Structure 1
Amino acid sequence: MTDSAHIPVTQLQPPGADSEAVACSNCAACCCQLEVMLITETGVPERYISTDDWGGEVMLRLDDGWCAALDRDSMRCSIYEQRPLICREFEMASPECIEERRGMATIYR
C-alpha cells in the first residue's frame, strides 16, 4: 500500500479526558436515555409526557429507550426551549455528563 492510499486514523480522546473536548455536538445524546421526572412546569408539550409506575409525570421514552423529544436526525432536543428543569440543570461537561458519556464508552470507539 502506498502512502497516498493510506487512510489516516484519528484517535479520539476518551470521554472525560478533557472537559474542553466534551460538547453536545460530539455526543451521542446519552443524557436523552435517562429517566426525566417533570417536577416543574416548563411547557413540555403533552405528547412528550408519560406517567411512571408511581403516578409521577416523566418524559416519554420510545421503544428504543430514547426520549421522545429527541430529534433522531440531529440528535438534538426538539423542545429545547421547553425542556424540563432536570434537562436544564444537566450541564454539558458537568461531572454527571462526563459520567454518562463514560457509561456509554462503546459509542465513542
Structure 2
Amino acid sequence: MYGGVAAGDRCRLHSHLAFSIKTLCERCDAVCCRLTVMVDPSDRIPQHLTSVTPQGWHVMARDEEGWCVALDSARMCCSIYETRPAICRRFVMSGPYCRDVRATYDDQRRRGIPLTLYNA
C-alpha cells in the first residue's frame, strides 16, 4: 500500500497525489510516454522491454506507434510502475519540463507537424 492505495492500482494513485496533476494528465496524450527513456544499468528493466540505439544507448523500446512498450494502452498508465526506470521516477508530472514538452507537442499537432520519434 502507498498512501492508502494498493500498489497494483497505479492509475488511481495519481488522483490521490494531487488533483491538479490528475487534471493535467487526463487532458494529455501521454506525451511523456513518447519521450526517449534512457535505461541506467541499475534499472531493473527486463531486456525484452529495451532496445539499443545506433549510438549504443540502452533505451525503453517503443511499439510501432511510438509509445513506450511499458505503457498499458487500455488504461494509459505504466505497466511496470513499481520498477520503472529511474529517469521516469524523476520526471515531475506537470513540472516545467512536462509542461514544455506538452506545449511543443500541442503546437506541432495544431500545425499538422507529425511528432518525430527516433526508434532504435
Provide the TM-score with structure 1 as the length reference.
Answer: 0.71
> Is the 1:32–1:67 Cα contact (8 Å) retained in structure 2?
yes
Corresponding residue for residue 92 of structure 1? 93
**Residue of structure 1 in register with 2:83 after alignment:** 82
- On the 8 A contact 1:48/1:68 being kept in 2, the answer is yes
SS of the aligned residue for 1:50 comes to strand
- 1:31 Cα offset (Å): 0.5
Instruction: Report how far residue 75 of structure 1 moved.
Output: 1.0
In the TM superposition, residue 39 of structure 1 has moved relative to its aligned partner by: 2.1
Give the residue type in structure 2 aligned to 1:65: G
- Structure 2: state its 5+ residue gaps: 1-19, 111-120
Larger Rg: 1
Identity fraction in percent = 42
> Matched residues in 1 for 2:99 and 2:82: separation?
23
Structure 1 unaligned regions, length at least 5: 1-18
Q: Equivalent residue for 2:115? A: none
Compared with structure 1, are the counterparts of its residues 96 and 72 closer, same or farther at alpha carbon in structure 2 (3 Å cutoff)?
Answer: same
| TM-score, length of structure 2 as denominator length | 0.65
Could you say which structure has the greater relative contact order, defined with CA pairs below 8 angstroms and 6 or more residues apart?
A: 1
Give the superposition deviation at 1:43. 1.2
Structure 2 residue 57 is the aligned partner of structure 1 residue 56: yes
Q: What code does the residue aligned with 1:89 have?
A: R
